[in-house]
Amino acid sequence: MSGDALLAVTGLTAGYGPVEVLHGLDFTVGEGEIVVILGANGAGKTTTMRAVSGMIPRQGTVEFGGVDISGAKPDAIVRAGVSQVPQGRGTFTDLTVEDNLECGGYTVKGSIAEDLERWYGVFPRLAERRDQKAGSLSGGEQQMLAVARAMMSRPKLLLCDEPSLGLAPLITKELFKVLGNLRDEHGMSLLIVEQNAGMSLALADRAYVLETGSIVATGTGDELLADDTIKEAYLGVVN
């Protein structure tokens, strides 16, 4: 698998100061694939994302498109084609919607006018609000903005850190539809960390289960959805 994987992570160890949070993770994301890492609070989901995008010191190897990016800085990783939708959306609240998108295209050389129109087309609500400050958008709109902003850098791989966090179920459903479309219509690969098992596993091609910094199970989305321990732990279904 890792031979032709877009993202291949082996033995990923990371943490904060003396505290090790991730204890040697192995996972891959293939071309055009949605991979979900399922985990409860404190499992290490955000740390995994931050480690992949170079925001914290890490050990182990991270290969992207066959190139070792283990030691690369965040901006170099964005330029390589990995973009992140951070937890809590991380929009530039004081900047307008359009400025947010332009920041997303910061690493693109040349004009981003076409990219702007393209993502305004996908997210018409953002087009309507292009001159509004991002902080005045609703949570759902901000999440869409965060996705659109991440897409502005023309990535091959999109990292989504708990996109459903704080969103109403209906909005989450809409969002996951958008994420699915990114794969189906734009040929994107996605790595999503989530604790919303039901919706994310239904979307995922493959999934991993993360518990206290280690991967404890893996399979296709459907396989894990059918798994009794998963049901009990993440869906609150007791047989």
Binding residues for another protein, rule: CB under 8 A, are: 53, 55, 73-75, 78-79, 83-84, 86, 90-95, 99, 102-104, 106-107, 133, 135-139, 142, 149-150, 153, 166
* Nearer CB in complex with another protein: 155/221: 155
Please tell me the distance from the alpha carbon of residue 177 to that of residue 220, in angstroms, as a whole number: 19
End-to-end CA distance of the chain: 34
Choice between 103 and 127, CB closer to another protein: 103
Residue 56 C-beta: closest distance to another protein, Å? 11
Cβ-based neighbours of 14, under 8 Å, separated by 6 or more = 20, 21, 22, 47, 48, 50, 51, 56, 57, 58, 59
- List the Cα angle 41/47/52 in 5-degree steps: 140
Question: Is 162 within 8 Å of 210 (Cβ atoms)?
Answer: no
Using the minimum distance from each CB to another protein, give the nearer residue, 45 or 206. Answer: 45
Residue 161 C-beta: closest distance to another protein, Å: 10
CB of 231 to another protein, least distance (A): 30
Q: Burial letters for 213-237: b for 16+ Cβ neighbours within 10 Å, e otherwise?
A: bebeeebebeebbebeebbebbeee
Name the residue nearer to another protein (CB basis): 85 or 225. 85
Nearer CB in complex with another protein: 130/133: 133
Nearest approach in angstroms of CB 18 to another protein is 15
Question: Closest distance between another protein and the C-beta of residue 69, in Å?
Answer: 13
From residue 52, how far is each of 171, 212, 218 by CA, in Å?
27, 17, 19
**Region of residue 188 (left: phi > 0; alpha: psi -120 to 50; beta: else):** beta
How many Cβ atoms are within 10 Å of 8's Cβ, its own excluded? 21
Q: How far is the CB of 94 from another protein (least distance, A)?
A: 5
**How far apart are alpha carbons 68 and 159 in whole angstroms?**
18
CB closer to another protein, 74 vs 180: 74
